[in-house]
Amino acid sequence: MLSAGRIEKMMEKSEGINPVRYNAFFETFGKGNVGLVSMDKVVEEIRTGKPAPVYTLGNNLEIELSKEKGLDGSLFLASGFDLGSGQMSRREDLEEVMGYLEMQKAKGDIGAIVNSKYSTLFEDKISFVGLAEKGMHVPHTYNFQNKKDFEEFIHEHGKHVVKHRFGYDGVNNFLIDKNNLGLLEKEVISDYVVQELVPIISETRLIFYGDELLGARKIEDRTRPWEEGLDVGRKHVIQKYNPSAGEIDRARSMFKYADGIVGAVDTVQLSDGTEKVLEFNGVATGLGYPGGVYDLNHTVAEKLMQSYLKK
């Protein structure tokens, strides 16, 4: 399952679509064995009963409309959740879709779902609310139901990072204090989480398949989303990384907590030498590309094949 509009962009060979992951699945599972369905059409099927159109994936983004319709198959990966027209996902949409997928699995129409409903919903950043208070190494995270409570919090506690609960790649990510509250004037504050501002010196991503670490990368001097277009005097350097056993164990613990099968844990290293888990990312995690710091696309496709289709 892909975000709305993704299939059209693939047909157009849009520059924003990298064929590496799709080719890995095509080459691993074989011609005619990989189907694509759009999130908005899945929602339509749920609400109207009209079976969602399915497209068959070919090599190098060559896709065609299949005669088959509706959600079925031996293995289902929910990797895209946007509903199109610039709409960010909502938790209600994800709950509806993942609940429907689990129902189809119970009926026998779907063999396995990667990742689970719980794991997919954990990608909602509201999942981090209260974890710091439980002693977990994450930034203090809050969610407000109205602007009044949020603004009172900012006036009392000062500068905080405000992120859309389903944002990615820095989209809808703000650094807010009492002087720029107007940046959120048109936003629904309950759609965002508010996190403490921590002194980040680097960020790592550890990619897992179950308990197994597949690869890692580190970003030094990362440009913050609110710094785009500014001359901040730092270089944005991405490099291959070999995490310590302790780093792996801490990230794996969060990955298990999120019930992940395929995905990644992002951690940040702070100026005082400590570390915090910043995010959990699921099936849609970028798995790299040839010549990059890693290329795990075939690795993940082959592991899925072995785990679910060759038993």
Count, residues in the chain: 311
Supply the pLDDT for residue 233: 60
- Mark whether 232 and 148 lie in a shared domain: no
Supply the pLDDT for residue 80: 87
Q: How many domains does the chain have?
A: 3
Please name the helix (run of DSSP H) or strand (run of DSSP E) that holds residue 174, with its range, or none.
Answer: strand 173-176
Supply the pLDDT for residue 223: 66
Residue range(s) defining the domain that contains residue 117: 6-121
Residue 158 maps to a domain: yes
- Mark whether 179 and 204 lie in a shared domain: no
As a 3-state breakdown, the chain gives helix, strand, coil percent values, each rounded to 5, of 35, 25, 40
CATH of the domain at 156: 3.30.1490.20
CA distances from 270 to 101, 242, 244, 277 (A): 40, 18, 16, 11
- Mark whether 23 and 98 lie in a shared domain: yes
Supply the pLDDT for residue 309: 86
pTM, 2 dp: 0.91
Give backbone dihedrals phi and psi of 33, rounded to 5 degrees, phi first: -105, 0
Supply the pLDDT for residue 83: 84
Supply the pLDDT for residue 171: 76
Supply the pLDDT for residue 89: 75
Supply the pLDDT for residue 237: 80
> What is the b/e burial string over 207-221, where b = at least 16 CB atoms within 10 angstroms of the residue's CB?
bbbeeebbbbbbbee
- Mark whether 55 and 153 lie in a shared domain: no
Supply the pLDDT for residue 104: 94
Supply the pLDDT for residue 225: 65
- Mark whether 203 and 190 lie in a shared domain: no
- Mark whether 18 and 84 lie in a shared domain: yes
- Mark whether 16 and 104 lie in a shared domain: yes
In this structure, the number of other CB atoms found within 10 A of the CB of residue 272 comes to: 9
Residue 276 maps to a domain: yes
Averaged in consecutive runs of 10 residues, what is the pLDDT profile of the chain (311 residues)?
90 86 95 94 95 95 92 91 76 94 94 95 95 95 97 97 85 90 94 94 95 94 63 72 94 96 95 94 93 95 92 57
